[in-house]
Structure 1
């Protein structure tokens, strides 16, 4: 997974900042490392030189293999909070994406079959199908 860090001219883009952002993203998104090609990070001071609440904005865009990019944004008072908040939001968004994909591929389990057996409609349908089959072969 490639991580690219960009910042505006009000936030100094140092090697130390890039390493910290990379480490934060790698540790937060570790379980998706094989599923992502790249994560782009854009850090911006919304108010420039002027102080203000929630003026640090961090946008992260993940590129999952074979899927559309996923983008999240988090605003906070400090750079640390903005980056960590965006990383957590991205983690939740990826969890949602891969959870939906996993659910689509999940095979029917014995527990689900047993639950269907307790469903009266399923039992009626099964009974109907048995009678249909008997009528065809009998």
Structure 2
């Protein structure tokens, strides 16, 4: 899974940030490795360094194989808080999408209760 980090509005794009985000997101999303091709991270400082509550914003967009992209946002007081909050939301969103897929596939399966050869 590829992790691409983009920054804007006063956030410095540092190698250490990219390395940490890559390791953190690969760990958090490890169970979805087969379904994910890429995760894009967009970090922005909404107040451009002036301070204030919840001024750091993290948007995560996950590219799932065979599905539309999934995007979530989270705001926090620190960059770490924003990334961790967005990762939690992304895990829930992917769980929801793949869980729905599992339920729909389950409904399409043949049931022994419907098999005429077993009824007669």
Deviation of residue 23 (structure 1)?
A: 1.1
Q: Which runs of 5+ in 1 are unaligned?
A: 114-129, 134-138
Q: Flag the 1:31–1:109 CA change in 2: closer, same or farther, 3 A.
A: farther
In 2: Cα distance, 1:67 partner to 1:37 partner? 11
Which has the higher Rg, Structure 1 or Structure 2? 1
Calculate the TM-score normalised by the size of structure 1.
Answer: 0.76
The reply on whether 1:97 has 2:101 as its aligned counterpart is: no
**Structure richer in helix, relative to its length:** 1
Between stretches 81-90 and 98-107, larger displacement belongs to 98-107
The Cα of 1:49 is off from its aligned counterpart by 2.4
Give the corresponding residue for 2:87.
87
Distance across 1 between alignment mates of 2:90 and 2:46: 21
> For 1:94 and 1:88, how far apart are their aligned partners in 2?
10
Gaps of 5+ in 2: 114-118
Q: Secondary structure at the match of 2:34?
A: helix
- Given that 2:3 and 2:40 are in contact with CA atoms closer than 8 Å, whether structure 1 keeps it comes out as yes
Aligned twin of 2:44: 44
Aligned counterparts, 1:54-73, within 5 A? 54-73=54-73
Deviation at 1:108, TM superposition (A): 6.5
Return the alpha-carbon distance in structure 1 between the equivalents of residues 103 and 84 of structure 2.
28
How far the C-alpha of 1:109 sits from its partner, in A, is 7.1
The two structures have a TM-score, normalised by structure 2, of 0.87
Structure number having the greater strand percentage: 2
